[in-house]
Amino acid sequence: MKGPSLMDSLFQRSIDDLIKSLRLTPPGTEPAFIAKAIEEVRREIKSSDPHTKSSALQKLTYLHSLHGIDISWAAFHFVELSSSAAHSHKRTAYLSAALSFNPATTDVILLLTHQLRKDLSSPNAHDVSLALSTLSSICNPDLARDLTPDLFTLLSSSKVTVRRKAIATVLRVFEQYPDAVRVCFKRVVENLENSDLGILSAVVGLFCELTENEPRSYLPLAPEFYKVLLDCKNNWVLIKVLKIFAKLAPLEPRLGKRMVEPICEIMRTMGAKSLVFECVRTILTSLSEHDSAVKLAVGKVREFLLEDDPNLKYLGLQALAIAAQKNILAVVENKDLVVKALSDSDVNIRLEALRLVMCIVSEDNVMEICRILISHALKSDPEFCNEILGFILLTCGRNYYQVIFDFDWYVLFLGEMARVPHCQKGDEIATQLIDISMRVKDARSQLVHVTRELVIDPALLGNPFMHAVLAAAAWVSGEYIKLSRNPFEIMEALLQPRTSLLSPSVRAVYIHSAFKVLMFCMHSYLRLNGDNSSFPSALIDSELVSDVEVDDQNMIVTNGRPLSASSVTDHLAQESILALVNLAEINLGPLAGSNEVEVLERSTNVLGLIKLIKPMLLGSLDNGEGDQTKGELKASETVKLIFDSCSEDLGPISVNAQERVLIPNGLVLKENLDDLEEICGDVKLPLLTSFSLVRPQFPEASSNVDCQGKEESEPASESTSLLAEHWKRHSLYYLAPGNTMATSNDYPPAHDPKDKVTDEAEDLVKLTEKSIITGKTPSQTKPRPVVVKFDDGEVTNVATNRTETKAVLISGAVNKVILGDEATAPSSSRRKPPKSRRVTDESSFGIAKIDQSEHSKAGLGGSKHHGHGKERRRRSSAKDKEHDRKDKQKSDKHRSRHRADKALEAQAPVIPDFLL
Amino acid sequence: MGRFFLVKVIRELSGMILTRAPKLCNFVEWRGYKVVYKRYASLYFCMCIDQDDNELEVLEIIHHYVEILDRYFGSVCELDLIFNFHKAYYILDEILIAGELQESSKKTVARLIAAQDSLVEAAKEQASSISNMIAQATK
């Protein structure tokens, strides 16, 4: 393409023209207009006239920042223009560079190095500050390394503006090139004593950012900061000093003692809210053991909360959240205001208040708080309502329902939450309903009551958000039907016509629950009648034991309600059973032709069963003849078997259960499955959702110890006889007691929890004990029901390990910034061109020396650095050798070395041990 | 402190902030950061900060910046910033560097900006003389 003509440069569209015409473009044609403008700019930018070029760049920058146009193709032109002598062009170019360069990916940044260096040493202060601003935005490791010496010079510039900006820019340079710390640090520290407010503010700002990451390194500077805290009257500087102290105080308790007074003084006398808030935050985060100060701070927070300014309210709530971590009383004292904030018009404030309310939940107040929250949920907008419900579910479910003492109440409350009009938390509620039904045996009867209400209400079926809850309710009703007062009612509810509104998967649960209810009724009926005649004696004998068990449980659980047992019996008249069967048949008949496989299959199952038992029922109605008895027996036997398989309690199983199953000899597990691990490796295991379908009977293996955990109510003699019986039949599945388990060659069934031997059971006992201990509150008269839980520690350990390693990585990087950790030095120096490599060696030599000197006089972290110091010394001697080897070519670096050494010597006395 | 977004439309943020009614608090949580915003007539100024930065201080900084802009442009309005976006950036560079407040004196900032402008003016006069242009074109 040709360069721009004379006409082009004479009649170039200025930035104003561009903006004006862009604003006049009809909507929709903008992209076309921008594309045309970019085309123009592409031509103009090649001009040799700096003015034309500069305008072109300005237009590009405008389009980039407001319309997000990619202008990386023009990067070279920015560099080119930055060498212009005119300040106006220079600043256009630098601005474009600062806005559009990406330090990590823009290659031409390196071409800017020379120009930046030239401008940094320019006599024109404006050029220098321009270069500094640019450097601070686009700094990358190479730029930082190459420009460190220039920056070092500027740190003692006589021009205040320049020095100030240099100090601020140092921050970015340190971040990108940690070795620069060794060169510049001392001069930065000197500036702390400068009387100019601007410079002081810059230095304090710099340290404020630096202490954020690795506060310990700056502890020796505490006296200087302290002086600033006492003398400085500028709020913005004070805020930053307070931030520094907030980080330093936890490291050195004596420092806290000296800080408290001046900070309280500031809090009392200063009017500026930002400063007062910073004081409050500093005290609450770092000085929480100074009671009087905390009291003062909490008082200030209360003032904030009482103000009309929403900002102060919001911050006050945040401050309380900080206080809550160490001093829950502070929140409790201000509970009235927090609760009031729940109905604030600002959703951010409400959320903050909600979080705070959830922090103060404990066993004693959980009911009261939930009551308040649900009333708020009912009157707030849908979004916040769900936010509240989510928080309640999360808090109450935390750590296996740690705060819940009265499960009967909680289960009722879950039902209530499900009925909140805007509720969209159906999935969570459903999970908790099922989870509690499995874990908390004592809550089951209440749970069945609650789920009955849910299942029976035809209005709920129309709400799609309720479906998950209904599925859980149907499952619970079916599973624990023996605790129900009226199984027939449940059956009717499960088969009501409106269930056609449910999604197929939920409907399948409904049908299966109906199946279970039917089985239960049939079984009870048969047993009642069977006692008289029809049960064959052999069948009764072999199943007698478990029958008694079921019966006992029935009696025990329904103890409180004399009605239930008799009402069940009442309903078991033959006619009603028949009616029940007919009901099921009529309702499920059409579903056998359903398009949904789940629905189809389950309804076919039920229908098949009905087919089997109906002749029997009809037969016995007809006062059966001899040849029918045989068929009846068969049917009743089937019913028995199915019922037994259905009546086994489902229980939660530890996610780690499988790991404890011994791998039998000769079973190759890894083959061909290794590849899967890569895929599945990072899939997070669900914590509570893995259930097995087998009765968790493992406690029986190790006798009475475990029985305390699970089946307290059973008398010991019965359990031992049960155990003996069980052992006789299933000893095959147990591992030899005490002995090594390798002897058995049988395959343990894949998810049979019976294989979990003593250690698992002991875990259980330990855990339940723990839960009892933690859940103990003197104010409650009722004992907390046992919550079955497992040691899922391994899983969580994995998770925390992962985050820990991440933290280690981060702190490693931090160390690199502050201490210039040598471990990383070789890798960074490898990338560098040989010329600057010398500087690296120089400075890392410096580090070793500093470490030694610090080590020898360190009073504070002495023991911590011990091991480190030795290693450093060894390494530094290696460095020394390398250093000598390079001596030949070092003639030109005398100056810098001298400088660094001087910095070292001078630095030692600069750090007085203020604290000792 | 985080980076300053000067009237730069970040769709996500503007969606969050513009929907907020007046007289609510000026802080919004956003991707683990906090965004402090303040509205002046039709202009919104937003600043994204870390969790433990001081929100009130940031509001003061925004106000400080707006006051300086106001002085410079003479009751600043949206058009001033649109047509002089680069100047707004230069002023900002005088106030903040590397996310830290640099100059708390409004007078000093005004003086520095004026000095820079006079440099630019001088250069412009030279560049826009016809003879210079012809010299450029016929080179």
Per-residue model confidence as pLDDT tens digits over A549-573: 334 334 333 333 333 444 445 555 6
Tell me the C-alpha distance between A336 and A582, whole Å.
59
pLDDT value at residue A687:
45
Distances, alpha carbon A826 to alpha carbons A644, A831, A844, in Å? 70, 9, 10
**CB spacing of B97 vs A209 below 8 angstroms:** no
Q: Taking a C-beta distance cutoff of 8 angstroms, is the pair A591, A599 a contact?
A: yes
In terms of CA atoms, which chain A residue is nearest residue B57?
Answer: A274
Tell me which residues of chain A, numbers 88 to 147, contact chain B at a CB-CB cutoff of 8 Å.
Answer: 88-89, 91-92, 95, 99, 126, 129-130, 132-133, 136
Alpha-carbon dihedral sign for residues A172, A175, A180, A186: positive
Chain A residues whose CB is inside 8 A of the B138 CB are 6
Nearest-angstrom CA–CA distance, A450 and A392: 18
Strands B100-101 and B33-40: unpaired
How many helices (H) and strands (E) in chain A? 44, 0
Between residues 18 and 77 of chain A, which touch chain B (CB distance below 8 Å)?
A: 19, 48-51, 58, 61-62, 65-66
Cβ–Cβ gap B133/A9 under 8 Å: yes
pTM beyond cutoff 0.80: no
* Mean predicted lDDT score pLDDT of chain B: 77
CA distance B90 to chain A (A): 8
Residue A10, pLDDT score: 58
Nearest beta carbon to residue B27 from set A9, A198, A311: A311
Query: What's the pLDDT at A833?
Result: 38
Chain A: nearest CA to B48, how far in angstroms?
Answer: 15
B108: which chain A residues are within 8 Å (Cβ-Cβ)? 161, 198
Interface test with A, best of B16, B17, B25 (most A CBs within 10 A): B25
- State residue B112's pLDDT score: 82
Q: Which residues of A622-641 are buried (b: 16+ CB within 10 A; e: fewer)?
A: eebeeebbeebeebbeebbe
Nearest to A284 by CA among A336, A323, A335: A323
Q: What is the DSSP letter of A402?
A: T
DSSP code at position A684: P
Q: What distance in Å separates the CA atoms of residue A289 and residue A327, rounded to the nearest whole number?
A: 10
Q: A126 to each of A61, A123, A614, A854, how far by Cα in Å?
A: 21, 9, 99, 40
- Closest chain A C-alpha to B134 CA, distance in angstroms: 8
A685-715 core/surface letters (b: 16 or more CB in 10 A; e: else): eeebeeebebebbbbbbbeeebbebbbeebe
> Do A171 and B101 lie within an 8 Å CB cutoff?
no
Query: CB A126 to CB B56 under 8 A?
Result: no
Q: Are B102 and A129 in contact (CB under 8 A)?
A: no
Q: Where do runs of H (alpha helix) occur along A360-486?
A: 366-379, 382-401, 407-418, 426-439, 444-456, 467-479
**How far is Cα A482 from Cα A758, in angstroms, rounded to an integer?**
31
CA distance B56 to chain A (A): 5
Chain A CB contacts of B1 below 8 Å = 209
- CA distances to A104, A804, A875, B81 from A809, rounded to whole Å, are 20, 9, 22, 43
Q: Which two tokens stand for residue A554?
A: 């029935």
Which one of A87, A198, A235 has the shortest CB-CB distance to B119?
A87
Which of B7, B102, B107, B126 is the best residue to mutate to test the A interface, defined by the most A CB atoms within 10 Å of its own CB? Answer: B102
Does B27 sit within 8 Å of A348, measured CB to CB?
yes
Spatial neighbors of A66 by CB under 8 A, at least 6 apart, are B8, B9, B85
Rounded-to-10 torsion of CA A283, A287, A291, A294: 10
Q: How would DSSP label each residue in B87-122?
A: HHHHHHHHHEETTEE----HHHHHHHHHHHHHHHHH
**Short-list B40, B117, B57, CA closest to A236:** B57
Distance to chain A for B43, nearest Cα, Å: 15
Does A198 contact B83 at a Cβ distance shorter than 8 Å?
no
pLDDT of res. A748: 40
Query: How confident is the model at residue A590, as a pLDDT?
Result: 84
Which residue stretches of chain A have pLDDT < 50?
Answer: 1-2, 532-568, 624-626, 686-716, 736-780, 793-815, 817-916
Q: Please give the span between the terminal C-alpha atoms of chain A, in angstroms, as a whole number.
A: 74
